[in-house]
Amino acid sequence: MSEISERVARVLDDPENWPRDPKEAVALQRRLADRVRVEPLDVDAVRLVAGLDVSYSTDNTALSAAAVVMDVRTLEVVESVAISSEPSFPYISGLFGFRESPPVLEALGQLKVTPDVYLCDGFGLAHPRRFGVACHLGVLLDLPVVGSAKSVLFGRHSVPGEERGSWTPMVAGRSEVVPDSFALADQGKEVLGRVLRTRRGVKPVYVSVGHRVDLEGAAELVLRLSPKYRVPEPVRHADKLCGEHRKAVLAAKEGRTD
């Protein structure tokens, strides 16, 4: 059993990690948020990154989760795993960690290699309770996790410049675009993430710390992993694999072979 498999097994087998009641889940989020650690990330030392994503069926009653490990230097896929599952927690904004973490963990548990960093399609500290799915996975596994989302759940920000690599800070507050979030950060507002332009003229992504990384390193890693597209390559590949797996499962249920 690999190191990641052992960690996953311990996390999934502990019932205290998986409350069924939303109020209990919120309370657990608040407790676990105190365990999030921000640590310097040496981006140059990172070799393997696992992209993590989840895809739902049209009626939200089934999902596929994928983990795609890529070599940072070559952007070649080293290993990939996809699984299908049924959600065990309601679809509630702000509590996706309890719904999506179990299948993602199941996929991670099947990996034979051990990634250096995990890149989650979702939020980390950029969350009302500072505990998005990237924090959730990171704290439970005690591994470095970065959150990279395509939309905003929580945080005030201004629009970054059009050039690749341009960014603005996301500060605490309800989701809204403001004239100058740098000024808000300078005034001492809590910085939760970065709005990062990974491709000129294309919508930015929203980067935040999950666990055991720092924001500067997280943003640099996301930018390095996005040489051509808006979404970083490991997450883009995981998203594609999720869709393919979900379609294959549906076809198998319907008795099709296409």
The length of the chain is 258
By C-alpha distance, which of 192, 256, 214 is closest to 37?
A: 214
Sign of CA dihedral 36, 129, 223, 50: positive
- Is 121 one of the annotated binding-site residues? yes
Residue 173 neighbours by CB under 8 Å, 6+ apart:
154, 155, 156, 189
Distance, in Å, from the CA atom of 55 to the CA atom of 87, rounded to the nearest integer, reads 11
Q: What does the alpha-carbon distance between residue 105 and residue 93 come to, in Å, rounded to a whole number?
A: 20
Give the list of residues 6+ apart from residue 186 with CB closer than 8 angstroms, or none.
none
Mapped onto helix, strand or coil, the DSSP state of residue 203 is coil
Q: How far is CA 115 from the centre of its chain?
A: 14
Task: Flag whether 53 is marked binding.
Answer: yes
Annotated binding site: 53, 121
Residues of the binding site for Mg(2+): 53, 121
